[in-house]
Amino acid sequence: MKYEQPALPYAENALEPVISAETIRYHYGKHEKAYIDNLNRLIKGTEYEDAELEDIIEQAKGPLFNNASQAWNHIFYFFSFSPDGSREPGGELRKAIDRDFGSFEKFKEEFVEAGAGLFGSGWVWLSRDVDGKLLITQGSNAQNPLTDGLTPLLTFDVWEHAYYIDYKNLRADYLRNLWNIVDWDVVESRY
Ligand code: MN
């Protein structure tokens, strides 16, 4: 079995000016693709050859974990955005955000703060635990909340390759701008 890189559900310039077509060409076209190519190379002849991506993330270590998790994280990240989706959460997810963070505005502030404050490369996550409680976590490098038994709902990539073309060193500006392209219908469907 070979993992396929899913096509983006929007044109490469559809998220401008928040994420440029040039960033998409590198980040999706080269970085995400490389993780998936590496994953396909690494699983050959191993017990993971026919495994689900989530199983590899939960069980493997080292380069196999890193590439499987980075493949999953990037697909999840790029599918969280759309040029014309809901820009605010609704329904049960909105109630949970208000309950666990005080308000949607406070949640966004806390999320950006966690992403801006992560030292080095990694991801900032919104997840739900088994009891339905929402939490924001930081993860270094290829970390994924699945390994902690959490259900990921949203992630922002804070590796420099995600923002350096468009924002240079201004990571917090990049993170704040991402709110303009998050598709909350997608995030809600994960909740
Ligand atoms: Mn990335």
| Alpha-helix residue ranges (DSSP H) falling in 88-134 | 91-101, 104-116
Ligand 1 centre and the CA of 179: distance in Å? 17
Q: Which residues fall inside 5 Å of ion ligand 1, going by CB?
A: 157, 159, 162
Given this model, what pLDDT does residue 28 score? 98
Ligand 1 centre and the CA of 158: distance in Å? 7
Ligand 1 centre and the CA of 161: distance in Å? 6
- Within this chain, do residues 64 and 35 fall inside the same structural domain, yes or no? yes
Q: Does residue 87 have a pLDDT over 70?
A: yes
| Domain end residue (candidates: 78, 103, 123) | 78
Q: What percent of the chain has pLDDT over 90?
A: 99
- Within this chain, do residues 65 and 116 fall inside the same structural domain, yes or no? no
pLDDT in tens, 118-160: 999 999 999 999 999 999 999 999 999 999 999 999 999 999 9
Ligand 1 centre and the CA of 58: distance in Å? 20
Establish if 14 belongs to a structural domain.
Answer: no
State the Cα–Cα distance between residues 164 and 157, nearest whole angstrom.
12
Residue 171 belongs to domain spanning:
91-190
| Domain end residue (candidates: 78, 110, 126) | 78
pLDDT in tens, 89-100: 999 999 999 999
Establish if 38 belongs to a structural domain.
Answer: yes
Given this model, what pLDDT does residue 1 score? 65
- Within this chain, do residues 119 and 181 fall inside the same structural domain, yes or no? yes
Instruction: Please report, for the domain that includes residue 97, its CATH number.
Output: 3.55.40.20
| Domain end residue (candidates: 35, 55, 78) | 78
- Within this chain, do residues 171 and 101 fall inside the same structural domain, yes or no? yes
* All residues at 6 or more sequence positions from 2 whose CB lies less than 8 Å from its CB, including other chains: 40
- Within this chain, do residues 36 and 97 fall inside the same structural domain, yes or no? no
Mean pLDDT to the nearest integer, 104-108: 98
pLDDT in tens, 13-68: 999 999 999 999 999 999 999 999 999 999 999 999 999 999 999 999 999 999 99
